[in-house]
Amino acid sequence: MLLPDKGLVGALLSRYRTLESQVLADPGDPTVRRRFEDTAYTLCVLMGQRTAREAVQEAERYVLRRRARRRADAP
């Protein structure tokens, strides 16, 4: 099974959180809203989830698991 790149998932999570705060600050800005929705959709596709909330939660777990595994493998 192919897994998404941890760096890409981490970057998308960071972008999602940034855009989320921008949408909350200015909900009427269509450009920010569109970027936020595009990022949420990309997370849904990468993480195999139907909703943005589920995708974000799964992405956070995925990144944490990969970090923990990398630490465990370190000499």
List pLDDT tens digits, range 7-62: 999 999 999 999 999 999 999 999 999 999 999 999 999 999 999 999 999 999 99
Cβ–Cβ under 8 Å, residues 40 and 53: no
List pLDDT tens digits, range 9-23: 999 999 999 999 999
Give CA 39 to chain center in angstroms.
7
Nearest residue to 21 (alpha-carbon basis) of 29, 55, 7, 63: 29
List the domain boundaries for the chain: 6-69
Q: What is the DSSP letter of 1?
A: -
pTM of the model: 0.84
User: What is the C-alpha separation between 60 and 23, in angstroms, rounded?
Assistant: 21
For the chain, the residue count is 75
Q: Using DSSP, state whether 52 is helix, strand or coil.
A: helix
